[in-house]
Structure 1
Amino acid sequence: MLKKTFAALTLGAALFAGQAMAADFVIDKEGQHAFVNFKISHLGYSYIYGTFKDFDGTFSFDEKNPEASKIKVTLKTASVDTNHAERDKHIKSGDFLNVAKNPTATFESTAVKSTGQGTADVTGNLTLNGVTKPVVIKAKFVGQGDDPWGGYRAGFEGTTSIKLKDFDIQKDLGPASQEAELIISFEGVRS
């Protein structure tokens, strides 16, 4: 009897521990611990950097089974900020993001493939300027643990490049400016 009870407790503990490893998180935009940035060449002479200031998202993460992880992010395209009001106005126009017609952009993962210790390729659908295309984000697990406010956090960063014409952005800025690099960095608070 004691043997059966011990076996049942051990099995129950193992199942509970396995379930406890998977967790859902809300991206911490309130605390400004999340960024969706971009970088694009300016005529081949320098780079323009920008950010989207208004977005939210969620992710599910299981350190023991990263392939089961998922992420979904929605951002307001009108929140673009390159630290230059006239340029931002132009980026919001029909030449680029057409924010009046396409007020949001989204990314939703469809697959996660581990590529090494703490790294993965996150494949998903990016919808930008009304066009949805698959992209692969090279992701890196930064860390996880308790925070000073009684919560639990996990953080990641990732990069991908997109061709502007793939997302129906027709404004031609020259051969050096056909692609933009997206840089995503965020902490999530376990929900």
Structure 2
Amino acid sequence: MTKLFASLLLAAAILPVQAATLQPEKSDLSFTFKQMGVPVDGKFRKFEAQLDFDAKKPEAGKIAFTVDLGSVSLGDPSFDKEVAGTPWFDTKRNGKATFVSSGIKPTGPGKYDVAGKLTIKGASRDVVVPITLASGVAAGSVAIKRLDFKIGDGEWADTSMVANDVTVKFKLAFSGL
């Protein structure tokens, strides 16, 4: 019985203390890219996040994030239909993008680098996402290369029309954090 009790105490000590719940109505996920040198803003309307985090042990934290690629909006229904199509997000075959953390490193008060794997259209890349955490809100941005994820295949792979660089910005509000 003592070994079981000791094992349970050890497990409790290494597990994240707080599981937080995403508040989608207070959260935002957007992106910016350039088309013919002009910035274009878009957003995703549907996404989910799971966060287990203890500020005293951030290294033990875990973050998982899923985006419904079919919820993309560039502000015009015809553009939204185009970007959901095969050359871009191909939402019929690749409806979700995911990020799963592999490590959280504190970089300053309320600041963290979250390393993990980003997967879009079946292509996965290791990324590090700088995050600021304050008052239950995780915010930040990360630059990605769209062609690394096969976004904009075929004629759209030409970066003179649509730039390869995309900045993804987020503000995720959590309760219980």
2:119 equivalent among 100, 122, 127 = 127
Gaps of 5+ in 1: 1-17, 144-153
1:16-72 alpha-carbon deviations (Å, 9 max, x no partner): xx89x820012111xx1111111111211x211111111112101111122222111
* Preserved contact between residue 112 and residue 130 of structure 2 (Cα < 8 Å): yes
1:56-103 alpha-carbon deviations (Å, 9 max, x no partner): 121011111222221111121100011111111111111111111101
The count of corresponding residues between Structure 1 and Structure 2 is 162
1:161 equivalent among 143, 153, 158 = 143
1:70 partner amino acid: K
Q: Indicate the residue corresponding to 1:38 in structure 2.
A: 31
* Large movers: runs of 4+ above 3 Å: none
Matched, 1:77 2:63: no
Within 5 Å, give how 1:36-75 maps onto structure 2.
36-44=29-37, 46-75=38-67
Alpha-carbon distance in 2 for matches of 1:164, 1:75: 16
TM-score by length of 1: 0.78
Within 5 Å, give how 1:7-26 maps onto structure 2.
22-26=17-21
* Preserved contact between residue 22 and residue 63 of structure 1 (Cα < 8 Å): no
Q: Indicate the residue corresponding to 2:172 in structure 1.
A: 186
**RMSD of the TM alignment (CA)?**
2.2
1:93-129 alpha-carbon deviations (Å, 9 max, x no partner): 1111111110111111111111111111111111111
Gaps of 5+ in 2: 1-12
**What SS class does the counterpart of residue 64 from structure 1 fall into?**
coil
Alpha-carbon distance in 2 for matches of 1:162, 1:114: 22
| Identical-residue share of aligned pairs (%) | 26
* Preserved contact between residue 163 and residue 179 of structure 1 (Cα < 8 Å): yes
Structure 2 vs 1, CA of residues 176 and 87 (structure 1 numbering), >3 Å: closer, same or farther?
closer
